[in-house]
Amino acid sequence: MARSWAWLCVWGLVLVGLAGALGAAAAQETRTQAAGAQSPKTQADTQATAQANPQAETGAPLAVTVAPTPYALAEAGYAALRAGRLDEAARRFAAALARSDARRASPGGLDAEALARLAADLGFALDRLGRRGAAAIWFARAQDGRPSALMARAEGYALKAAGGAEARAAVAFRRAIRLERGRADAEPRRLERLRREVRDLERGVGLSASVLLRGEPGTGVTLAGPTLVNSQGAVRADVWLKRWTGLDLRPFARALWAVEDGGVAGETVQAGVGVRWRPLAATNLLVGVERLVAVGDAARDDWLLGVDWSAGRGYERPPLASRWGYWSVLGQAALIDPAAADWLVSGDARAGRAWGLGEHWALRAGVALNTLAQHGFGDTLSLVEAGPGLALVWRAPGSPERAGTGRVRLELRWRHKLAGRTANRSGLTLTLSAGF
């Protein structure tokens, strides 16, 4: 009986052990199934969390890139400007303006006054870099809702220097004149300079006439150059095409004649039509071609190729000046009938003082040196002469926004012959010229 109870205890323990093992296995299977049944959304969220927060897996600090504010970009631009790094300053200013346009209401943005100032400084930086067309754009931007005579002037000069935008430059200068006149501290000299800019930019057609009388009778005409051997008259019409074409082309037509007995020597009348081109805006160099048309029996039917160069200062009265100095240098060369190799070279140099007589009149006193060398029809002529002279000059008043183009000059000059192979003698010459 005792042995039976022992076996029963053993089998009871075995059954309890089996039951515990079966329960543990069932619990493990339940946990595995629950893990396998996790929703796709939860898995994706878990993966996204790990990707979005790598610090959670690696423990490394998270790098964050913050775009600079317009204010910070502007400050960097001004630092570059102070250091003389114009190109970098221009890039920073442009980036600050672009970001302010995109985030006008963002923290760190710039107000309207700061934007106008920044646009102006970008324009000045680009102008110093020689990028005048781009500078003009930003000078115009600086005036958005904030009219400024300074910015209008800067826009006009930038457009003028860029070339090909003469009409827009004239509009900017006219706007600057109106704004300047509205200022309590308007500067008269500045206004006059702007009026002259408008006049020069809007020039389209010009007409001129002149006559030079000297002691020798006319036996022919000088086809080019300021040094005239004989008494001679001329009329001329010029057209400036730059404001329409962007190229400084100047078609012209003219007529010349010798003066005899106070009238026109009909056999000497010479006509011509041609075009001149100014290839360099910074230099007054003109290259031209002309077809000479004989009107009188002593005139020519030939081609003329010419080059003119001039420089000077003070021939037009400085704004509001009562007295001033002037000087000029002019040189011309021409090849006439290339097959026959006729040629002409002449020059003129002048210097002196001038005095204002009222608002529109001036008196000039000075000395001049004239030279001429001409080969044609198998003969070569030359002349060198110098002497003092007086000239009375009148200029038209113009309009409030544009200086006048009309002018009249009466000049009396003593020409002393220094050298040359001509019949000319020393003596007085009288010149009357007018044009607009």
pLDDT tens, residue by residue, 221-269: 777 665 666 889 999 999 999 888 888 999 999 999 988 877 888 899 9
d(CA 395, CA 381): 36
Tell me, what's the pLDDT at 255? 96
Least confident of 21-35, 142-156, 287-301: 21-35
At 433, the pLDDT band (50, 70, 90 cuts) reads: very high
pLDDT digits (tens, 9 = 90+) for 288-326: 999 999 999 989 899 999 999 999 999 899 998 999 999
| 3-state SS assignment for residue 44 | helix
On the question of pLDDT at 3 being above 60, the answer is no
Tell me, what's the pLDDT at 53? 46
Strand boundaries in 278-341, DSSP class E: 285-294, 303-313, 323-336
Tell me, what's the pLDDT at 20? 54
Tell me, what's the pLDDT at 419? 92
On the question of pLDDT at 284 being above 90, the answer is yes
d(CA 189, CA 128): 25
On the question of pLDDT at 55 being above 80, the answer is no
Task: State the DSSP code for 264.
Answer: E
For residues 393 and 361, is the Cβ–Cβ distance under 8 A? yes
pLDDT digits (tens, 9 = 90+) for 292-301: 999 999 898 9
At 337, the pLDDT band (50, 70, 90 cuts) reads: confident
Distant-in-sequence, close-in-space partners of 296: CB < 8 Å, separation ≥ 6: 257, 265, 266, 267, 268, 269, 270
Tell me, what's the pLDDT at 224? 66
Task: State the DSSP code for 417.
Answer: E
On the question of pLDDT at 58 being above 80, the answer is no
At 52, the pLDDT band (50, 70, 90 cuts) reads: very low
> Where on the phi/psi map is residue 333: left (φ > 0), alpha (ψ -120 to 50), or beta?
beta
Which among 378, 377, 359, 245 has a CA at the least distance from the CA of 302?
377
On the question of pLDDT at 220 being above 70, the answer is no
d(CA 160, CA 165): 7
Which among 203, 286, 270, 210 has a CA at the least distance from the CA of 239?
203
Average pLDDT rounded to a whole number, residues 186-196? 93
Distant-in-sequence, close-in-space partners of 286: CB < 8 Å, separation ≥ 6: 250, 276, 277, 278, 306, 307, 308, 309
At 423, the pLDDT band (50, 70, 90 cuts) reads: confident
For residues 387 and 415, is the Cβ–Cβ distance under 8 A? yes
Average pLDDT rounded to a whole number, residues 192-218? 89
